[in-house]
A and B are shown apart, each in its own frame.
Chain A
Amino acid sequence: MATTNSATYRKTILAAALAAAACLSILTGSASAQGELRFCLRSEPKTFDPLKVEDDASVVVRYLTGGVLLRMNRQTQALEPELAQSWKVSKDGRQITFQLRSGISFSDGTPFSAEDVAYTVQQLMDPALHSPTGDAFRSGPGNVDTKIISATQISITFPAPVAGLDRQFDQVAILSAHSGRKEMAVLGPFMMADYKAGATVLLKRNPNYWKSDAQGRKLPYLDSIRLDIQPNRDVEMLRFKRSEIDLINSLDSEYFDKLAATSPQLVHDAGPSLDSEQMWFNEVAKSPLPQYKKNWFRSANFRRAISQAINRDDLARVVFRGHAQAAIGPVSPANKFWFNARLKPETYSPDAALKALQGEGFRLENGTLKDKDGNEVLFSVITNSGNKYRERMATMIQEDLQKIGIHVNVVTLDFPSLIERMTQTFDYEAILLGLTNVGLDPSEQMNVWLSSSENHQWNPSEKSPETPWEAEIDRLMRAQASSADAQKRKESFDRVQEIAVEQAPFIYLVNRNALSAVAASVQGASPVILVPQTYWNVERLAVK
């Protein structure tokens, strides 16, 4: 009996303790905290300093921990106030004034004020720091001037107009000017709790996070987020199937279909993303290619004919299993504001392509296309080895072009060799690669479109524009970058898109769809096309 009494006593104590804990949690408001969200980082974060972030894994950590003045709503693509209640950009696009929220504290308890914003901007623009985030603000020589008007008001003036100035602040996580442990003081929904190199990053909810939901419950709902470092996509998929992780972003179309076959409710196809796959020819005058090939590649009619002879719908349907759209131009239709809706998809027509080439003096002889000097039209397309989608696209393009007598050699190279040929030796004929667009604003593509840029892939670092249309693109890109009038900027960039389609320096192939998987246990998820697809509203996610 003594034993039974003792056990009963222990059970009573336990029940009382659980009830007390439940009451306490309701009283303190932590009843809203719901579970741990787990997903994979595909590489090790290279830094936890939000200003030095460059790699994808670090971007994830910054998104989850950093508090920003303004945030672009990933669903509506509209800019929304966060730590700043309101903001105003001057007409000349050089100055932005923020009205900050009051009564907000960093995760370590230090109060947030305009001084923190000024400190962050100074750090961001410090040339010694080489902040990749800061590069977007470096529009001209000179210093950035920060003027603290009051504890909740600050004005920042740049030496030259910054294109899409307010949108750039979406990437700027505010640092604490006064905290003794700056790396631990954050304003975002989560804060760093633990990091095991090569294994996990554990984030805990920020107890001082300033947001509440409509019912007055403190956000975020989640207790913690566990980020497992896992570069292998197969393993990531297996772990998702075993319910060891809750989310997968940028799911492969092959895995998407496999998962959809068994659990259609877990997969989400948000439609075309900003990412594009494209091919371009080497137009570098000093490249070691024979002159007749240079002449082909520098001819817009040749490039357009090639573009016309590629069956993009087949690429989207076969290579990406229908989870991609034939690309129209440099901007994906997913970019709601900046996409030029006047552009129409290229019509696949090998006959029209052949006719256009014949108009240029090419002729078909025994199934082989020859130029007017009798040179067989033959070129190689390089892509990076190990990327099965690009290899398949290249093989399909090989067959498409064979129909008009063009012989294509598909070459897969390791990435460093490919980059060396692309940027140093210019010893290539055509390259097939992808472009991952994170931002919506065209100013983020300045480095691709300006003819003087190193990333002007088809003909980098031109001393002066080598063609009239490149000069026109330079002018339009500079015009849009220096204007604060969104409509004028749009007009300029619309014309850039039209020139890009007319001249075809890039042959845009497909825009991949934004595919993701979300476990049934995750509540509140609404995957979108923009990064981070599945957890853009992380503060409102919960795990059952």
Chain B
Amino acid sequence: MKPWRTNFWRTLACAVLLLVVGGSLAANWLAPAGYAHQYREATDAAPSRAHWLGTDEIGRDRFARVLYGTRISLLLAPAAALLSTLMAALVGGLAGYMGGAWARAAMAVTDLFLSLPWLFLLITVRALMPLNVSPLVSVLVTFLMLGLLGWTSAARVLCSTAGSLRESDFVRQARASGVRGARLFWIHVLPNLKPVLLAQFWISIPVFILAEANLGILGLGVAEPMPSWGSLLRELEGLISVGEAPWKFVPLILLVVVVTSFQLMLSKQEQAAA
């Protein structure tokens, strides 16, 4: 029964993710008014036929903003996750494989990055960025920064795994057979790091989605009028206003559903890594 159950939940998670991604990609068709148009005569409106999820405080269609915001958060978070995983593979994988002073130096750099107060770093970077960047560039920079700063934990895991692979019998045998350097790493070590890399990739996606949401709550990250889950979640800031408009919870519910789906998708990779 257990495998069936596992498959069921994984299939369901996959279906949910496909539905969400599909919906966001079809945003132009599903919400033709766009995410920026302000219906100033219908601000903070309840759901209606014209606005399925109502409108926000300045009259923008919330359904359109959720779809476009999903597109941004859900497409850029995997890109940032890919970047951070590659960096983790480069730093952690190579350090673990080479061992010795290389590993100690690489892990010292990793620890240094881990000790950085990344939130303040992001605030500083945002403050230093040119002001006249388009919302698209702003969102790209935000996720790029998340990717560049988010590789450290994964690098430690990969360093440890690569270190144990380096001492494994098959690597010793390959080395005894004369396989050396990049060839040894590329053919024998990297394929065995693949499950860990995939696991780290899948773990990073929801982490970056949440990180962008946190930045959005702080007023950083994606610039107006472009929506993201972070900017949509800012509507939930007021304790009092939210209770009377439950439809404002939709972005939060979507975030929870997507993050949960990623976790359910992840389990197979985790098992493989283990």
A residues with CB within 8 A of B: 234-235, 237-238, 254-255, 258, 314, 317-319, 378-380, 382, 385-386, 388, 391-392, 394-396, 398-399, 409-414, 417, 427-429
Contacts and interface: CB of A to CB of B under 8 A. Distances in A.
Contacts of B111: none
Contacts of B131: 380, 382, 409, 411, 427-429
Interface residues of B, number: 28
A414 B123 contact: yes
Contacts of A394: 224
Contacts, number: 80
A202 B132 CA distance: 50
Contacts of B219: 385-386, 391, 412, 414
Given A318-B43, A380-B131, A411-B131, A395 B224 contact: yes
B52 to A, nearest CB: 21
B35 to A, nearest CB: 12
Interface stretch (B100-108, B201-209, B234-242): B234-242
Nearest to B223: A410
Contacts of B123: 414, 417
A395 B58 contact: yes
Contacts of B238: 234, 254-255
Contact of A429 (B38, B132, B224, B237): B132
Contacts of A319: 57-58
The 8 closest A-B pairs by CB, nearest first: A385-B219, A417-B127, A380-B131, A234-B239, A412-B219, A410-B224, A395-B224, A380-B132
A396 B240 contact: no
B38 A258 contact: no
B59 interface: yes
A394 B38 CA distance: 13
Nearest to B37: A399
**Secondary structure of the A contact surface, majority rule:** helix
Contact of B36 (A255, A385, A399, A428): A399
Interface of B: 36, 38, 40, 43, 57-59, 123, 126-127, 131-135, 218-220, 223-225, 234, 237-241, 244
A399 B225 CA distance: 9
B124 to A, nearest CB: 8
9 contacts: A258-B240, A314-B40, A318-B40, A319-B58, A388-B234, A388-B237, A392-B57, A396-B40, A398-B224
B239 A399 contact: no
Contacts of B134: 409
Contacts of A429: 131-132
Contacts of A388: 57, 234, 237
A237 B218 contact: no
A238 B220 contact: no
A394 to B, nearest CB: 7
Nearest to A413: B127
A317 B123 CA distance: 32
Contact of B224 (A234, A258, A391, A414): A391
Contacts of A382: 131
Contact of B240 (A238, A318, A380, A413): A238
Nearest to B239: A234
A314 B223 CA distance: 22
A191 B228 CA distance: 51
Nearest to A399: B38
Contacts of A398: 224-225
B193 to A, nearest CB: 39
A540 B148 CA distance: 62
Which of A379, A391, A395 has most B Cβ within 10 Å? A395
Nearest to A400: B38
Contacts of A396: 38, 40, 58
Given A235-B239, A379-B132, A414-B127, 16 more contacts: A238-B239, A254-B238, A258-B240, A314-B40, A318-B38, A380-B132, A385-B220, A391-B219, A394-B224, A395-B224, A399-B225, A410-B225, A411-B223, A412-B219, A413-B126, A413-B127
